[in-house]
Amino acid sequence: MLFSELQLDPNILKGIEALGFTTPTPVQQESIPLLIKENRDLIGLAQTGTGKTAAFGLPMIHKVDVNKKIVQGLVIAPTRELCVQISNDFKDYSTFVKGLSIATIYGGASMDKQSREIRSGAQIVVATPGRLMDMMKRKMIKINHVSYVVLDEADEMLNMGFKEDIDGILSHTPNEKSTWLFSATMPRDVEKISRSYMKDPIEITVGNKNVGAKNIHHVYYNVPERDRYKAVKRILDFNPDIYGLIFCRTRRTTQDVADKLLKEGYNAAPLHGDLSQMQRDKAMDKFRDKTLQILVATDVAARGIDVNDISHVINYHLPDEVESYTHRSGRTARAGKEGVSIAIVSNKDQNKIFQIEKKIKIKFDEGKLPSGKEICEQQLVGYVEKIKSIKINGDEIADLIPPIIDSFEEYSKEELIKRMIGNEFNQLLKYYENSREIVKDKRSKGPRLKSNDHQRFFINLGLNKGLNKGGLLRLICSNTNIDSKSIGALDLFNEFSFFEVEKKLSNEIIDDLKNKEYDGKTFLVEIASKDGSKPRSRNRDRGRNRSRNRDRGRNRDKGNNKDRNSFRGKSGGGRRR
């Protein structure tokens, strides 16, 4: 099937042709004809990189009425990066569609500017849930005439704590509308959304439900905990042409790994929430342009990355949720190409490999890290091939060659080759000559047992700050990169709240939430007292004790020193220090 065979508006087809697309992907072939012909709800399950944006974007552009200057199509996506990407794709598809306006709204940018885009008559809005809810509350946008709603990366949105926002948004849309839900996986929470807001949806599945892509080679390396970084170094050195993503669990680890790689000369950069938006955009632009070889990222920061030709995904730590592994590995092997997803594990998290295999029906190969000798041989072969493939402009260097040949006259060909290799690889050879081999830690610790022990935390934000459970969950997850499944009970009160987190993550919570801001103001997070109640400030207690002492002193004065005031007056007053 060709795009030209689909019953799309001729101006849309013209835009697709200008982009160089001729054949729709499987998810596009199945969804586009259905969505064009019928006003039906649809669930599309497909891996990242299979063309989902065009699968819902082309029908939406086809169906909106450009003569009506009201919001008719709404796309909700989990992150700013994904919003911008979807919006840009929509604009590319509709290059030749006159009168169509697309607004992009997300946090971290001017709300007034985004409001002007909507007021100017945008027919399609692409938004993150949080910013959309804010603008709805401020009456900057009306969605009561929306005909088409898309929930993109629905599993990721729910995993980030957006359920309450999605509920709030959908409750303001008309009952008579088409809802199109697209997701890489179908966990229970997504099924609940579909049951609550969709009527008899058509379900399209490309591949199998909750199954990883088939063209990805999954491999894991079991190493001692202390050798994770050294293992990554060996993988990078053995694959000198790698174009890859390294996923870390926390912002601190992400920055540490990126800093080490940069210090050792690798073309790498970090991507996490503690960076400014400008720094994140700069890193992403360089990665898309392939001027950056390795991007070290957290899950939250990497959501929405849509980059082709990524050869390797490296899991510095495996994620807590199996669905997150599906999203991570789906960054490679896009558009039918092949890719490699690598997991670095130690004995304590080895059991996660088996959980992932069972859940998404894939098979990991246990890999053996290359030896120092194998790495050096691989690098040398690559270097030789690079020299052999260099295109030489003889005219430009003709005058330089004779004196260079004369200066090398005393050396044989073998000696010159040795000197070239030594100049290029002495540092690498020395490193691996002095480096011990990394082998699997044979001290098995057995399967890790899941613990239900949670630590209760106090936060000085509550309902009076406009916070709800979804907002609190999102505040925690987005600032710590902790998965929402690791968070337990949430109790909100007017001026403060409590939340519970797995005890093993307690230090991470304290460190990552320190000096963070909500609505422009720094908030406080502390471990709750042993009875789970609001902690008492030490300074406040000392203040109360001083007050009690003063009160006791005054009472003694009243009983025993009736003339104390006159005594003070004579002495000029005895101010306590």
Q: What is the mean pLDDT of residues 538-549?
A: 44
Q: What is the mean pLDDT of residues 175-179?
A: 95
Please give the pLDDT value at position 257.
96
**Cβ contact 249:319 at 8 Å:** yes
- Buried-state track 252-267, b at ≥16 Cβ within 10 A, e below 16: bbbbebbeebeeeebe
Alpha-carbon Rg for the chain in angstroms: 30
**Rounded distance between C-alpha atoms, residue 470 and residue 475, angstroms:** 8
| 216-366 classified as CATH 3.40.50.300 | yes
**Rounded distance between C-alpha atoms, residue 384 and residue 393, angstroms:** 19
Least confidently predicted of 329-338, 421-430, 557-566: 557-566
Q: What is the mean pLDDT of residues 290-296?
A: 96
Q: What is the mean pLDDT of residues 335-363?
A: 88
pLDDT at 547 exceeding the cut of 50:
no
Give the residue ranges of DSSP H helices in 120-187.
Answer: 129-137, 154-159, 163-171
CA distances to 9, 14, 26, 28, 365 from 4, rounded to whole Å, are 10, 9, 15, 13, 42
Of 506, 452, 499, nearest in space to 471 by CA: 499
pLDDT at 549 exceeding the cut of 80:
no
pLDDT at 531 exceeding the cut of 60:
no
Choice between 482 and 229, residue whose per-residue pLDDT is larger = 229
Please give the pLDDT value at position 23.
92
**Cβ contact 165:470 at 8 Å:** yes
**Rounded distance between C-alpha atoms, residue 307 and residue 288, angstroms:** 6
**Cβ contact 130:165 at 8 Å:** yes
CA distances to 45, 194, 494 from 185, rounded to whole Å, are 7, 13, 36
Q: How, if at all, do strands 312-315 and 364-366 pair? A: unpaired
For the CA atoms of 74, 77, 78, 80, the dihedral, rounded to the nearest 10 degrees, stands at -90
CA 175 to chain centre: 32
**Rounded distance between C-alpha atoms, residue 29 and residue 41, angstroms:** 17
What SS3 class is residue 531? Answer: coil
Q: What is the mean pLDDT of residues 347-371?
A: 89
Confidence of residue 60 (pLDDT cuts 50, 70, 90): very high
Residue 166 exposed, middle or buried by CB count within 10 Å (0-12, 13-18, 19+): buried
Confidence of residue 209 (pLDDT cuts 50, 70, 90): low
Residue 31 exposed, middle or buried by CB count within 10 Å (0-12, 13-18, 19+): buried
pLDDT at 558 exceeding the cut of 70:
no
**Cβ contact 436:371 at 8 Å:** no
Q: Where are the domains of the chain?
A: 3-205, 216-366, 372-390+397-433, 454-527
**Residue 201 neighbours by CB under 8 Å, 6+ apart:** 40, 41, 42, 43, 179, 181, 194
pLDDT at 11 exceeding the cut of 90:
yes
Q: What is the mean pLDDT of the chain?
A: 85
pLDDT at 300 exceeding the cut of 90:
no
Confidence of residue 534 (pLDDT cuts 50, 70, 90): low
Please give the pLDDT value at position 559.
46
Architecture of domain 3-205: 3-Layer(aba) Sandwich (3.40)
Confidence of residue 556 (pLDDT cuts 50, 70, 90): very low
Each residue of 16-46: pLDDT tens digit? 999 999 999 999 999 999 999 989 999 998 8
Least confidently predicted of 128-137, 236-245, 349-358: 349-358
Around Cβ 312, how many Cβ atoms within 10 Å? 20
**Rounded distance between C-alpha atoms, residue 320 and residue 310, angstroms:** 23
Choice between 393 and 336, residue whose per-residue pLDDT is larger = 393
Fold equal for 3-205 and 216-366: yes
- Ramachandran region, residue 339 (left: φ > 0; alpha: ψ -120 to 50; beta: rest): beta
What SS3 class is residue 111? Answer: helix
Q: What is the mean pLDDT of residues 172-176?
A: 94
Each residue of 430-444: pLDDT tens digit? 788 777 888 876 654
**Sheet of strand 364-366, all strands in order from the earlier edge strand to the far edge:** 268-271, 294-297, 244-247, 312-315, 339-345, 216-222, 364-366
**Cβ contact 480:487 at 8 Å:** no
The dihedrals phi and psi of 500, each to the nearest 5 degrees, come to -115, 140
For the CA atoms of 119, 120, 124, 127, the dihedral, rounded to the nearest 10 degrees, stands at -50
Residue 528 amino acid letter: A
Choice between 531 and 344, residue whose per-residue pLDDT is larger = 344
Confidence of residue 394 (pLDDT cuts 50, 70, 90): confident
Please give the pLDDT value at position 256.
95
For the entire predicted model, the pTM comes to 0.61
- Axis-axis angle for helices 163-171, 188-197 (nearest 10): 10
Confidence of residue 536 (pLDDT cuts 50, 70, 90): low
Token reading at 314: 């490296």
pLDDT at 52 exceeding the cut of 80:
yes
Least confidently predicted of 489-498, 531-540, 542-551: 542-551
The dihedrals phi and psi of 218, each to the nearest 5 degrees, come to -100, 125
CATH number of 454-527: 3.30.70.330
**Rounded distance between C-alpha atoms, residue 244 and residue 236, angstroms:** 9
Choice between 367 and 324, residue whose per-residue pLDDT is larger = 367
- H or E element in which residue 76 lies: strand 73-76
Choice between 208 and 17, residue whose per-residue pLDDT is larger = 17
The dihedrals phi and psi of 47, each to the nearest 5 degrees, come to -70, 160
Q: How many CA atoms lie within 13 A of 135 on its CB side?
A: 27
The dihedrals phi and psi of 532, each to the nearest 5 degrees, come to 80, 5
Each residue of 115-170: pLDDT tens digit? 999 999 999 999 999 999 999 999 999 999 999 999 998 888 887 788 899 999 99
